[in-house]
Amino acid sequence: MVMAYPMGYAIWLSMQEVSFFGGFRTSFVGIENYREALYSDNFWWSVRVTVQFVLVSVVLAMLIGLGLALLMHHVRRGRALLGAIIILPWSISLYGAGVMWQYLARGQSGVASSLINRMLGRTTPDTAVEYSLISSEQIVNLLALGNAWNLAPLVAFFLLANLKTIPERLYDLARVDRLNVWQRFLIVTLPPLQYTLFVFTTITLIMSMKLLDFIFVMSAGGPGDASATLTFRLFDLAFRQSNYGLSAAMSFYLLFLIIGSALALFFFWGRRLEDT
């Protein structure tokens, strides 16, 4: 009932035109909502924004998580305190993270924006237009950075557990062979981490594709529709425009995009790990 009823109701709703005039009414329109979505410029714009947001989020989350894991693995003193600090972003709610990043990066009064403007010498009225992180050119990347900041600690602690399983004698043998730090990382450290990296790349991809609350709080899809991901577009159609049929139809395109991306990741990466 938890899975079947919502899915079945969403399928039914995606084939209806919903009206609230004179009470709640529906009329069957078949696949018209799916066709309307495919011919909608707003839909394809949201697909583009979603792909950019997810790609940047995944890359940043993996790189930051790996860096934090290596840092915790090699630190000898204060490891418990360092771990407590690193896990803090993951413990913050997405709503709280959205509020914090909004205050950090907003136009003239944001801490990060103010520092950037000061470094660029744009702190007086007679200079060039002030630089804002919350702009149509930067907002998607900024959202991805905030999302990665939230997800990276989870990635880091699982990678840290994986690092603990690598025998120390392998590093001793690498030193005997006079491998430098980068060569030891590529040959000794990275191969045992590949499966964990694959798993959390998939998890981060899925969580990023269905993310709404952080985007809603931080940018509300703006400026304009510059950060209107598919999840935000669905929310806007359903709860602001009351277009439940079109929103339900688009939600299945989002579902297909999530499943297709996860399967593609498994086909090109995960299956190779299974073979080895």
pLDDT tens, residue by residue, 131-177: 666 778 889 999 999 999 999 999 999 999 999 999 989 988 988 88
Cβ atoms 69, 160 nearer than 8 A? yes
Choose the weakest-confidence range: 19-28, 58-67, 243-252: 19-28
Q: How confident is the model at residue 195, as a pLDDT?
A: 93
Residues 175, 173: Cα–Cα separation, whole Å: 5
Cβ burial of 170 (10 Å; 0-12, 13-18, 19+) is middle
Structural domain including 116 reads 4-275
The type of residue at 126 is D
Strand (E) or helix (H) holding 249? helix 244-265
* Domain CATH code at residue 252: 1.10.3720.10
Place 126 in a pLDDT band, splitting at 50, 70 and 90. Answer: very low
The type of residue at 202 is T
Residues 103, 257: Cα–Cα separation, whole Å: 32
- The tokens for 254 are 């989002």
Strand (E) or helix (H) holding 25? strand 25-28
DSSP labels, 122-162: --STTSSPPP-SSSTTTHHHHHHHHHHHHHHHHHHHHHHHH
- Is residue 271 predicted with pLDDT exceeding 90? no
Strand (E) or helix (H) holding 18? strand 16-19
Q: How many domains does the chain have?
A: 1
Average predicted confidence (pLDDT) for the chain: 88
Q: How confident is the model at residue 127, as a pLDDT?
A: 47
Q: Which of 165, 170, 143, 150 is nearest to 86 (CA)?
A: 150
Residues 110, 49: Cα–Cα separation, whole Å: 24
Highest mean pLDDT: which range of 52-56, 131-135, 184-188: 52-56
